[in-house]
């Protein structure tokens, strides 16, 4: 990052890098949770759910890439070891031990709700500190809100099918 860019962020740079690495851990775990969930999901509407999970997995991977790029721009180092994802995560990882569609959807809805809370908190911390990172987090938050809505709609559709 250039001189003026560093000047804007100032003394908060290490705190911002820490926030971003924690978010990066969440995104990698979310990516894998979606990706593997799409592979193992079973039951009614599993095809539609698997397609949605696969799409979300790609978007979570894109978030991870953007976060890593921003960490590097700020002069930091993105998480280098996957085992550190569990040490830094805000939202954790729900293993899809039960491949039932409803369970998979609930696990991923919970993950999205956590991500929304984390990114919303980051926005309040970054608002007057780092406009570039603020904008990035806002874009990611918009995706996470959309993911939650997509998954809740699928769950609602499935619940309506079961009532018939």
Q: What is the pLDDT of residue 162?
A: 77
Residue 41 burial class via C-beta count within 10 angstroms: exposed 0-12, middle 13-18, buried 19 and up: buried
Q: What is the pLDDT of residue 6?
A: 67
Distance CA 155, CA 151 (A): 6
- The model's pLDDT over 55-76, given as tens digits with 9 standing for 90+, comes to 999 999 999 999 999 999 999 9
Q: Report, as ranges of residue numbers, the positions in the chain whose pLDDT lies below 70.
A: 1-6, 164
Q: What is the pLDDT of residue 164?
A: 65
**Contact assessment for residue 68 and residue 78, using Cβ atoms and an 8 Å cutoff:** yes
Q: What are phi and psi of 42, to 5 degrees?
A: -140, 150
Could you say which DSSP state residue 100 is in?
A: B
Q: How far is CA 157 from the centre of its chain?
A: 24
């Amino acid at each position: 990052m250039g001189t003026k860019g560093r000047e804007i962020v100032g003394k908060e740079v290490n705190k911002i890098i820490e926030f971003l690495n924690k978010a990066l851990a969440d995104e990698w775990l979310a990516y894998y949770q979606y990706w593997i969930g799409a592979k193992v999901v079973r039951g009614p509407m599993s095809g539609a759910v698997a397609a949605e999970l696969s799409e979300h997995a790609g978007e979570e991977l894109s978030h991870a890439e953007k976060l890593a790029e921003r960490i590097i721009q700020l002069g930091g180092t993105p998480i280098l070891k996957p085992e550190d994802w569990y040490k830094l995560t805000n939202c954790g990882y729900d293993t899809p031990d039960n491949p039932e569609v409803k369970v998979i959807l609930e696990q991923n809805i919970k993950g999205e709700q956590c991500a929304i809370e984390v990114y919303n908190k980051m926005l309040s911390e970054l608002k007057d500190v780092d406009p570039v990172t603020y904008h990035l987090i806002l874009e990611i938050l918009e995706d996470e809100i959309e993911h939650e809505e997509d998954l809740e709609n699928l769950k609602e559709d499935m619940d309506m099918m079961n009532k018939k």
